Amino acid sequence: MLRDITIGQYFPGDTIIHKLDPRVKIIIIGLFIASLFFINSFYPYILILLFIGIVIKIAKLPIKFILKGLKPLYFIILITLFINIFMTKGEVLFTIGPLTVTKEGISMAVFMALRLVFLITGTSLLTLTTSPIALTDGIEKLLSPFKIIGLPAHELAMMMTIALRFIPTLLEETDKIMKAQMARGADFESGNILNRAKNLVPLLVPLFINAFRRADELATAMEARCYRGGDNRTRLNELKLKNYDIAILLSQIAFFGFIISTRYI
């Protein structure tokens, strides 16, 4: 299941989505996330689903690969459904012992589950269609106006990108360590919560050691390449907004502006 997490992974391609300026994609994803939290009815979700489907189609991303990224969320989705179904007051449909199932609870449960699915799927599209280097440059450019108040834009962008980049690597190492410990007799599934927490010690210790080792190797590699942060740094490919970048950005601002406005219409 750890291998099913798609956040942080990059799916190479030569589509217009991949070529889109990373600053534009970051702004669009920001609008996408904001619009999800403004939606208070089901029909705007149809537009969100249409948006995600069009992006996946244009970017030529495998549907199975996108759906695979939702597998680790099954437990969280089930908890969301359970809490909303049984904790929302309203018109009672039936009771299960001390628990009551309401019409409003079922509606809210489906609504919140869809929001969670769209949130993870939409944000995954950013890393799937944007290389780590382009993502770093985009974040840095967007944060550069805040340098006047002392914000270290380049360092902050670099830390965020490295964190995203190493999510798949750490998950892969976690999977390898878990299988190695299970081959030695470790049990991560049986027992109560306290026993499971104790059983995680043989997993967490080597994982933290490997994480610190990778961080040290990365720092040594960056120092060997004379990396000195963002001061006087040059780039092979400078970010320049093209006409289609501006056109797509304006169209998406209008699109998500309409979705946000549905809350008040």
- Residue 63's domain spans which residues? 2-130+240-261
What whole-number distance in Å separates Cα of residue 147 and Cα of residue 157?
Answer: 12
Q: Tell me, yes or no, whether 150 lies in a domain.
A: no
Burial of 17 (0-12, 13-18, 19+ CB in 10 A): buried
Q: What total of structural domains would you count in the chain? A: 1
Contact 236, 133 (CB under 8 A): no
pLDDT in tens, 151-197: 777 778 777 777 777 777 777 788 788 888 778 777 766 766 677 67
Q: Tell me, yes or no, whether 99 lies in a domain.
A: yes
pLDDT at 232: 64
Q: Tell me, yes or no, whether 136 lies in a domain.
A: no
Q: Tell me, yes or no, whether 47 lies in a domain.
A: yes
Q: Residue holding tokens 């390898």?
A: 176
Q: Tell me, yes or no, whether 76 lies in a domain.
A: yes
pLDDT at 53: 92
Alpha-helix runs per DSSP H in 14-102:
16-19, 22-38, 43-59, 63-68, 74-87
pTM of the model: 0.76
Counting as low any pLDDT under 50, the low residues of the chain are: 1-2
User: What DSSP line would sit under 127-140, residue for residue?
Assistant: HHSS-HHHHHHHHH
Structure tokens belonging to residue 169: 């690597």
Q: Tell me, yes or no, whether 36 lies in a domain.
A: yes
pLDDT in tens, 72-88: 677 788 888 888 887 77
Q: Tell me, yes or no, whether 161 lies in a domain.
A: no
pLDDT at 165: 72
Q: Tell me, yes or no, whether 195 lies in a domain.
A: no
